[in-house]
Structure 1
Amino acid sequence: MVDITVMGAGIFGLSVAWACARRGVRARVIDPHGPGAGASGGIVGAMAPHVPELWNSKKAFQLESLLMASDFWSEVAEVSGHSPGYARLGRLQPIADAAALKLAAERIENAATLWQGQAEWRIIPESGPWCPPSATGQIIHDTLTARLHPRQACAALVAALRARGSEVVTDGKPTGRILWATGIAGLDALSAAHTRIVGNGVKGQGALLAYDARDQPQIFANEVHIVPHEDGTTAIGSTSERYYDDPTSIDAQLDDVIARAVAAVPALSGAPVIARWAGVRPRSRSRAPMLGAHPFRPGEFLANGGFKIGFGMAPKVGAVMADLMLDGIDRIPDDFKPEASL
């Protein structure tokens, strides 16, 4: 007997299934393409917070999720026997000029309040080879940013679900309570059922370098994320392409991303590129995740629109969707509900 069916084995679908399985519910996750076949099968895995200012429900939700992440992924690793590559090692960002330095200083106090004393936003001197050059000689270091390896994280969730008696399959009949977490295909279906575009796909390209900085913080510089992974590789990403012909093609835009990463961290110069990835990430019209009752399938549920922050949002998304599906308890912010994008 299956209690819930999740259509889609990306990070939102797997996380909701896991949150339900933790409560003793048997889940079936169905995805014809297999786990992490879409945007969740990427290679970058930067889980970074929004800046601590102009606070809103999206930023508050993301903060709660990032603070939940350590326990969430530790349990997944323990149950599954597979590492998701999670670590909260922080992030470095160069400060370009005096105005940016003043703004960064103002955010120190904001972070102390808004991040509830559980993480810091600091300004530190530029120092060492694993540090981007900064025009001011100063660097932002936040201690909230974390990393994981997206493919490893999806594989660990699949193994954890199976260890708890749930299943992840490529075909099957939906039964029980049904959740749709089908990424860009789901957004296209919502748009087709509505009178306007509900969301769209944004293509991203990333690369994996054979460079071991596994214990170092990630870097955001030159509009590029540089993310050291637990396995001794370093991920570089990514582009944001609203217009594209082939969603999985690799082109010169990725070469530019790699060049900008090397300019920011010269230590990466000469590191072999061992993998390249391209895929399409689902972005809702409101730019927030779409969570709640499905607008066009009565009695069913929806979780979509993770865009670039799906892995960072996943622990909290799983918790609130499990509350809603299993107990009828609605803890979803109003601007995350599907009607906000309709």
Structure 2
Amino acid sequence: MGDVTVVGAGVFGLATAWACARRGAKVRVIDRTGIAAGCSGGVVGMLSPHAPERWNETKEFQFQSLIAAESMWREVEDTSGLLTGYDRVGRLQPIDTERALELARERAVNADEHWQGKALWRVIAAKDAEDWCPKSETGLVIHETLSARVHPRKACLALAEAIRRKGGVVEVGDAQTLEGKVIWATGVAGLRELSAHFGKTVGNGVKGQAAVLGLDARGVPITSAGDVLVVPHADGTVAVGSTSEREFSSEDQTDTQLDDLIARACDVFPMLASAPIVERWAGVRPRAKSRAPMLGVHPLNGDQYIANGGFKIGFGMAPKVGEVMADLVLEGIDTIPERFRPEASL
């Protein structure tokens, strides 16, 4: 099967290395700053689909990835002996206008067509969502059962340990000696390198911010209300995220945008107002020009490969990304959607 070297220990790099290791490849993962040291070390971990309308190969790819997530993360847990925080808890979304209600009902029909009976999208009364339900102006909410959550940091640590237990190596250092088939999964740094080489924006970093609150709501659905994401985790905390800033002065420090986000989350779920803030997080997420993952042959090194551009959907896409990259690198089988190819951002 040969050797595989993955540069980058974020979720795309680790998921690709795991898929290769499962197939018997000798895998080495190397990252100059450590496992999930970038945006994959975040705190939100919301795995949700785009709306099930105007169906295309991108949405089909995402759907298949979300369906595959449970078996992947369970196998990672079994192999590593570590928890990932994964659970397919579903999602609630408030319906605040009559137009939003009309769209929600149209999308329920689309989900019935495209989700193959593996998940549901339904409009229900907010009172039927039990005690954990976002405020809704119409008294109705969307309840879909495809969404899940995972704890990003724990999931990456579990992936790294699972790779080791398959005989692979995961280490911190500079990628000076690269052996076998090489996959670059270097996030923002990799996108900046491509932009500098081509003299135009191929991708960039978008700052995101989130917070962890000390409220035990484990097992209930995640919620998206506008741009407010609320994710109850299995460790008895609730993550609130996340903002997006294309122009920012610091990659590390959170600012008033996060205070505003927390306030809006408390408006959606008033019980959050009394919960202590356990952690404030900020990080820079890799956004390719196409806004889709960048997968395939590396634009600068034709005998190497790239897996980048996870942006806000990296963990949701990771199960399928790992498999299609392993197909390409190990078997020479290319099933990558056209929009996901590097050329779409060049």
TM-score category, normalised to shorter length: over 0.9
Q: State the 1:129 CA deviation.
A: 3.4
8 Å CA contact retained: 1:129, 1:267 = no
AA of the residue aligned to 2:291: R
Match of 2:188 in 1: 184
Q: State the 1:221 CA deviation.
A: 1.4
**Mapping of residues 1-342 of structure 1, within 5 Å:** 3-127=3-127, 128-171=130-173, 173-342=177-346
Q: Give the TM-score, by structure 1 length.
A: 0.98
Query: 1:189-229: CA deviations, max 9, x gaps?
Result: 11111131100111000000111111100011142100000
Query: 1:232-261: CA deviations, max 9, x gaps?
Result: 111000001111010111111101111111
8 Å CA contact retained: 1:2, 1:28 = no
Residues in 1 aligned to 2:147 and 2:132: alpha-carbon distance in whole angstroms:
16
Residues in 2 aligned to 1:205 and 1:196: alpha-carbon distance in whole angstroms:
27
AA of the residue aligned to 2:206: V
Residues in 2 aligned to 1:38 and 1:161: alpha-carbon distance in whole angstroms:
19
8 Å CA contact retained: 1:76, 1:157 = yes
8 Å CA contact retained: 1:222, 1:260 = no
Query: 1:80-129: CA deviations, max 9, x gaps?
Result: 00010000010001001111111111111100011111000011111243
Identity %: 58
Moved over 3 A (4+): none
Residues in 2 aligned to 1:99 and 1:279: alpha-carbon distance in whole angstroms:
35
Q: Higher mean Cα deviation, 190-199 or 311-320?
A: 190-199
Q: Give the TM-score, by structure 2 length.
A: 0.97
Residues in 1 aligned to 2:255 and 2:200: alpha-carbon distance in whole angstroms:
31
Give the length in aligned residue pairs: 342
Query: 1:138-160: CA deviations, max 9, x gaps?
Result: 00001000000000000000110
Q: Which runs of 5+ in 1 are unaligned?
A: none
Residues in 2 aligned to 1:179 and 1:307: alpha-carbon distance in whole angstroms:
18
AA of the residue aligned to 1:134: S
Residues in 2 aligned to 1:103 and 1:319: alpha-carbon distance in whole angstroms:
33
AA of the residue aligned to 1:18: W
Q: State the 1:2 CA deviation.
A: 7.0
8 Å CA contact retained: 1:93, 1:140 = yes
AA of the residue aligned to 1:130: W
CA RMSD, Structure 1 to Structure 2 (Å): 1.1
Q: State the 1:276 CA deviation.
A: 0.9
AA of the residue aligned to 2:46: A
The 3-state SS of whatever aligns with 1:215 is: coil
Q: Higher mean Cα deviation, 120-129 or 12-21?
A: 120-129
